[in-house]
Structure 1
Amino acid sequence: VPGRMSRKNHNHYKGAEVSCCVKYFLFGFNILFWVIRILTTLVHLFSPLHQGVLSNLSAITDLGGFDPVWLFIVVGGVMFILGFAGCIGALRENTTLLKFFSVFLGLIFFLELTAGILAFVFKDWIKDQLNFFINNNVKAYRDDIDLQNLIDFAQEYWSCCGAHGPDDWNLNMYFNCTELNPSRERCGVPFSCCVKDPAEDVINTQCGYDVRLQGELDRQKYILTKGCVGQFEKWLQDNLIIVAGIFVGIALLQIFGICLAQNLVSDVKAVKANW
């Protein structure tokens, strides 16, 4: 009889145990998540391009003096704590940390979902803000070399010039067409607005000089005439499946992480209930 009772208790205990697969899969999931988050934060904060652009963002956006660097630090810190809670919670089978991890990950998922819905509802407002942002970048083009490189990259990548067209460069003190402007770049555009000649191996940085003194039809031979706002919208439409796929993939990973954490919490509770 004692032997049967011992076997019965042993079988009852064996019926509830923590899944090693779930435990270490969640641990590995968080380690990977943690490392990626640390690397992306370091790249954003310490790369020369991002340092220059971030330091100038408060001047070209309506942020009321807020330093965007702090935003990256806060987001990076939250992700670091979240990854730490997931790792230690999984390794130590700590239900408090696992619940914290799953609830916080669920909150982030909810915020992302809300942001996506609001972006769709207020797409016209976002378009206006993009227009405002690009025009402020145009004004500050010569103020920061890293910002200048970013604008040139955007105009070349999206084959555009200005927010709505080349005449937006009148907002810049060096390129505007006023008669009192002493700049050699008067009535011109940056070289990134120029139509590229495949035969040229070296970039002609003066290709946009005086080009806006010409008529609309003539300037089309030399410079790009489409605005970056419209080209960005077109790029989004052309790559809608890829962009949506990335967001859906991130969302599925978050849901997967929540499910793993909740599954592990259930296993730990089941084992404790048998003690």
Structure 2
Amino acid sequence: MAEGCGMNCIKYLVFIFNFLFALTGLVTIIVGAVIQSSYHHYEFFIGETFWTAPIVLIIVGSLIFVISFLGCCGALRESSWMILTFSVFLMLIFITEIGIGIAGYIKHGELPEILEGQFNKTLDEYTNSVEAQHAWSLVQGELECCGIKGPSDWRPIFKNKTVPAMCCHLLPKDVKQCTTDHASKIGCLPKLLEFLDKKSLLLGGVGIGIALVQLIGVIFACCLSRAFRENYETV
């Protein structure tokens, strides 16, 4: 009787855990979608390498959401093979996330060099590219910065003290043209790098949290699968 009660406790504990696990998958999807949809226009400066992380987060969250229902069904039906399959899938996702995390950490070290190269490229293309002009307007307007490292970076483009209008965020009413005198003195390279570092911390925090939950889930699932198997063997 006590053994049956203990089995039921474990079963419903795993069911509740998997329900919470499904919610973490949903949160992961939302976090990845928000970052991807809100900040994807910076891809023009950093390429697609950095923003593959939110896409991976969305995919992993979707897999977690689906796999968690396999765990719930296995717990309720007391199916050892469903629980075992659930734990195997969970472990594979866990290992994949560790690999992605290591690759992301290594890639993040190359970010300043990637940013500087892309900024210089788009600055050279500014006069002849509408896309480059739009990208610079976005980054200078949203981050309240000017040029790569400062407003003087625009001198080779305009050949004078003129800078793009988005460089001047507090232009006096009597001044009609944005120049280096009134432009933001902060470059966009350090501002964007700081911005991306914050997003990396958010992605890393979510990833670590999910990985810990997954590891606990694997342990629970393996224990439950063994308990179900031993229970049926004794019947």
1:89 aligns with 2:71: yes
Deviations 1:17-55 (A, max 9, x none): 43413322322332342365168548846x7x85xx38x
Structure with the larger helix share:
2
Question: CA 1:235/1:85 → structure 2, altered by over 3 Å: closer, same or farther?
Answer: closer
Provide the residue aligned with 2:29 in structure 1: 37
**Residues paired across the two proteins, number:** 220
CA distance in 2, matches of 1:245, 1:133: 24
The correspondence of residues 76-225 of structure 1 with structure 2, limited to 5 A, is 76-93=58-75, 94=82, 95-116=84-105, 118=106, 123=109, 125-138=110-123, 139-140=125-126, 143-144=130-131, 147-156=135-144, 160-169=145-154, 175-177=157-159, 187-194=161-168, 196-197=170-171, 207-208=177-178, 211=179, 219=181, 222-225=182-185
Distance 1:102 1:167, change over 3 A: same
Is the CA contact (8 Å cut-off) linking 1:119 and 1:126 kept in structure 2? yes
Report the CA distance shift for 1:36/1:15 in structure 2 as closer, same or farther (over 3 A). closer
Q: What is the one-letter code of the residue matched to 2:166? A: S
C-alpha displacement at 1:132, in angstroms? 1.5
CA distance 1:258–1:140, shift in 2 (3 Å): farther
**How much has 1:244 moved relative to structure 2?**
4.7
Aligned in 2, Cα 1:254/1:136: closer, same or farther, shift over 3 Å? same
**Normalising by structure 1, what TM-score?**
0.60
Q: Indicate the residue corresponding to 2:224 in structure 1.
A: 267
Whether the aligned pair in 2 keeps the contact of 1:135 and 1:168 (CA below 8 Å) is no
For 1:85 and 1:37, how far apart are their aligned partners in 2? 14
Aligned pair in 2 of structure 1 residues 99, 72: CA closer, same or farther (>3 Å)? same
Instruction: Identify if the C-alpha distance between structure 1 residues 70 and 99 changes in structure 2 by more than 3 Å, giving closer, same or farther.
Output: same
Query: Does the aligned pair in 1 maintain the 2:24–2:61 contact within 8 Å?
Result: no
Q: 2:18 aligns with which of 26, 41, 45?
A: 26
Q: Unaligned 5+ residue runs, structure 1?
A: 1-9, 178-185, 213-218
Shift, 1:259, TM fit = 0.7
TM-score w.r.t. structure 2 length?
0.68
Specify whether residues 86 and 167 from structure 1 end up closer, same or farther in structure 2 by C-alpha distance, changes over 3 A only: same
CA-atom RMSD in angstroms: 4.2
CA contact (8 A) 1:170 1:176 kept: yes
The sequence identity of aligned pairs, in percent, is: 16
Q: 1:257 to 1:69 in 2, by over 3 A?
A: closer
How many Å separate the matches in 2 of 1:195 and 1:98? 54
Unaligned runs of 5+ in 2: 76-81
1:251 to 208, 215, 233: 208
Greater Rg, structure 1 or structure 2?
1
CA contact (8 A) 1:37 1:79 kept: yes
Distance 1:102 1:269, change over 3 A: same
Q: Secondary structure at the match of 1:26?
A: helix
Specify the code of the residue in structure 1 equivalent to 2:151: P
Q: 1:97 and 1:114, CA in 2 relative to 1: closer, same or farther beyond 3 A?
A: same
